[in-house]
Structure 1
Amino acid sequence: MNATNFEKIYRDEDVNLELLTDKVVAVIGYGSQGRAQSMNMRESGIKVIVGAGDRHRHSSWDKAEADGFEVYSIEEAVQKADVVHILLQDPAQPSVYYESIHAHLRPGQTLSFAHGFAVLYGTIKPPKDVDVVLFVPNGPGPVTRQKYKDGSGIWGCVAVDQNISGQAQETALAIAKAVGSTRVGVVVMTFQNETEGDNYEEQVLYGGTIHLMRTMYNIMVKNGYPRSFAYAKAIRSIRSIIDDIDEVGIEPYLTSRASRTCEFAVRHSGPRVINEEEMEKIFEETENGIFARNWLQEFSLGMPTLHRMRRTCAESDMEQTGEIWREKFGK
């Protein structure tokens, strides 16, 4: 592929941070991402306030204050802000939005998300007189924070759903720059692509990898391998492989860093592990909204299936082995 055919990658020199320097960004939700992005933006010179629930019921209020932020009720933070940056968990967003945000928005504000789920699937319907954007760093909050502190950043993407001001994309990119993502690169995509791509990734890559690990561990233990050995092979060894592949690429890893036995194993037997037909089916279900419908239904019922699966997996032989393994061999 010719590099000129690749999508535009926005870096620091492409983005004007001054779009935010005289504005107030209200971060709603001071969890893992909320804390990381708030601190990064503040250190980039942006005025950040935090909106939290009742301080007597929400520990996030005290945490944000301890980190030196001005903290307000969500309603008051929205009223004070130019940019309302929602970093709550997806299922919690609609109720908080309609209870504390929607009625307090004013024309010309920017409503920003870190995932397009609520907007794409209509659980949140913003007013027509505000910009609606998203910015998401491709990693968890602590990594986003540590990368920023190290002088680097984490790859991210932005998207625009409503562009009332004519500068919605520029604002989203400025948020990305303040968090540190344009240090390494940010791409522009649609709300639909970001949401469904993320949902697909979590089902196939995260879900597939974790269940692959569990299945490999169980088969090895069932066939007489020591639990510590099975755990190391099924869980720990993937860390160095992923780091190498990320550094040089798959083919250079296979041909110059892996053993020839490993290369043959990957090329000969690897495809047998993958069920491409099921991966295609999951992709279609994601694009058709079936995954979103199932998740919203599960959440509305109090997540009974998810709670059962959590308990079953937490009590599994592999998880108990993992606790002992990390204690004896380190993290």
Structure 2
Amino acid sequence: MKFSEKIYRDEDVSLEPLKGKTVAIIGYGSQARAQSLNIRDSGIKVIVGCGDRKFFPDWERAEADGHTVMSIEDAVKQSDLVHVLLQDPAQPEAYKKHIHEHLKEGQTLSFCHGFAILYGTIQPPKNVDVTLYVPNGPGPVVRQKYLDGSGIYGCVCVEQDYTGNALKTELALAKAAGSTRAGTIEMSFQHETEGDNFEEQVLYGGTIHLMREVYQLMADAGYPKSFAYAKAIRSIRSVIDDIDAVGIETYLSTHCSRTCEFAVRHSGPRVINREAIREVFNETEKGVFARNWLVEFSHGMPTLHRMRRERKDSDMEQTGKLWRETFAKETDLGAK
């Protein structure tokens, strides 16, 4: 059995489309930092574009990493490929103010998430390539995998192929960042964007809220809080790592106890609300989540700030802080 999609690996991709070219990384958060360092270490010239030095501490961090840092406008003017790694809701204003009028014919405008292009908050000119590259992992992992000689599975997308070379150029970017070491596929902006939004709502959101519920139920029932926290938070990491390495069925049949296997198969489905998951999926594909997030951001994120305040000093967060301090050795070992 093979995947139907084409999987691009190192031997399938050339760095030639980026040789002698300059890649401008716009922003310098964790993902931008990882990709910029990887791309530079692959022999490609990288510059970093940031906002005003006075208001963006990332400027100094990028300089400390040895990058040439400049305004976003200058970075766009001096580059052949502009790779935008700003947060999604912040991209439209930055694009309009600092990027759009400085784009040149035949330049590549690249993103790390398709949100702004898919939902039309950014409208690029017709005479540039519009592409996307994203590794399937957080910035620090992307960097560490590269340093270890491996890489992170990734995807590339082409929305607009003005030059006829958009795919080759974006695959070269993926290779420079390390993703073709593991494997990179091509997909649509829609699937990348809405698949990512769906994953974050259901898998990340669902898992975190499940952890909170497990902790609270056990703590309220009188279990030691350190035990409740370990069960709710710590146990799942070793399980996920094992499943990632061998697959779900091998894990269940050979890596865990028969009690655990029976518990998973018998009771696990009862905590999954398939109708709710389908509802979130449909809302995501209809753009409801995107609209809600854009409205929330435009109003200064009041709901998000309120939810942060509610959770910041919760019993579970206080327990977690104490747990990490008390069991620091176990935490350090698990983080390696």
Q: TM-score, normalised by structure 1?
A: 0.98
Aligned equivalent of 2:16: 18
Aligned equivalent of 2:254: 256
Matched letter for residue 52 of structure 2: D
Unaligned runs of 5+ in 2: 332-336
What secondary structure, in the 3-state scheme, does the structure 1 residue paired with 2:155 have?
Answer: strand
- Cα deviation for residue 6 of structure 1 reads 2.9
- Cα deviation for residue 55 of structure 1 reads 1.6
Aligned equivalent of 2:326: 328
Aligned equivalent of 2:278: 280
Q: 1: distance between equivalents of 2:227 and 2:55?
A: 45
Aligned equivalent of 1:125: 123
Aligned mate of 1:138, from 136, 139, 150: 136
Aligned residues: 329
Q: Given the alignment of the two structures, is residue 151 of structure 1 paired with residue 146 of structure 2, yes or no?
A: no
- Equivalent positions of 1:32-43 (< 5 A) are 32-43=30-41
Q: Given the alignment of the two structures, is residue 63 of structure 1 paired with residue 58 of structure 2, yes or no?
A: no
- Cα deviation for residue 12 of structure 1 reads 0.3
Aligned residues: CA RMSD: 0.7
The range that moved more, 277-286 or 30-39, is 30-39
Aligned equivalent of 2:89: 91
Aligned equivalent of 1:269: 267
Matched letter for residue 16 of structure 1: S
Matched letter for residue 164 of structure 2: G
- Cα deviation for residue 132 of structure 1 reads 0.3
**Cα deviation code 1:264-308 (max 9, x no counterpart):** 000000000000000000000000000000000000110000000
What secondary structure, in the 3-state scheme, does the structure 2 residue paired with 1:166 have?
Answer: coil
- Cα deviation for residue 329 of structure 1 reads 0.8
Q: 2: distance between equivalents of 1:250 and 1:60?
A: 40
Q: 2: distance between equivalents of 1:268 and 1:54?
A: 56
- Equivalent positions of 1:1-331 (< 5 A) are 2-3=1-2, 5-330=3-328, 331=331
Q: 1: distance between equivalents of 2:281 and 2:98?
A: 35
Aligned equivalent of 2:334: none
Q: 1: distance between equivalents of 2:260 and 2:63?
A: 52
- Cα deviation for residue 57 of structure 1 reads 2.2
What secondary structure, in the 3-state scheme, does the structure 1 residue paired with 2:8 have?
Answer: coil
- Cα deviation for residue 56 of structure 1 reads 2.3
**Cα deviation code 1:172-221 (max 9, x no counterpart):** 11100000010001111000000000000000000000000000101111
Q: 2: distance between equivalents of 1:313 and 1:169?
A: 43
Matched letter for residue 121 of structure 1: Y
**Cα deviation code 1:141-197 (max 9, x no counterpart):** 111111101111111111010001111111111100000010001111000000000
Unaligned runs of 5+ in 1: none
Matched letter for residue 302 of structure 1: G
Matched letter for residue 293 of structure 1: R
Q: 1: distance between equivalents of 2:55 and 2:304?
A: 25
Q: TM-score, normalised by structure 2?
A: 0.97
Q: 2: distance between equivalents of 1:322 and 1:54?
A: 37
